[in-house]
Amino acid sequence: MKKLPYGISDYERLVENDYYYVDKTMYIEKSENLAERYIMFLRPRKFGKILFIG
Residue with the bigger pLDDT between 41 and 33: it is: 33
Is residue 19's pLDDT more than 90? yes
**Per-residue model confidence (pLDDT) at position 46:** 66
- Distant-in-sequence contacts of 9-18, Cβ < 8 A, 24+ apart: none
Domain ranges of the chain: 11-53
Neighbour-count burial for 8-28, b at 16+ CB within 10 Å, e otherwise: eeeeeeeeeeebeeeeeeeee
pTM: 0.46
Please state the length of the chain. Answer: 54
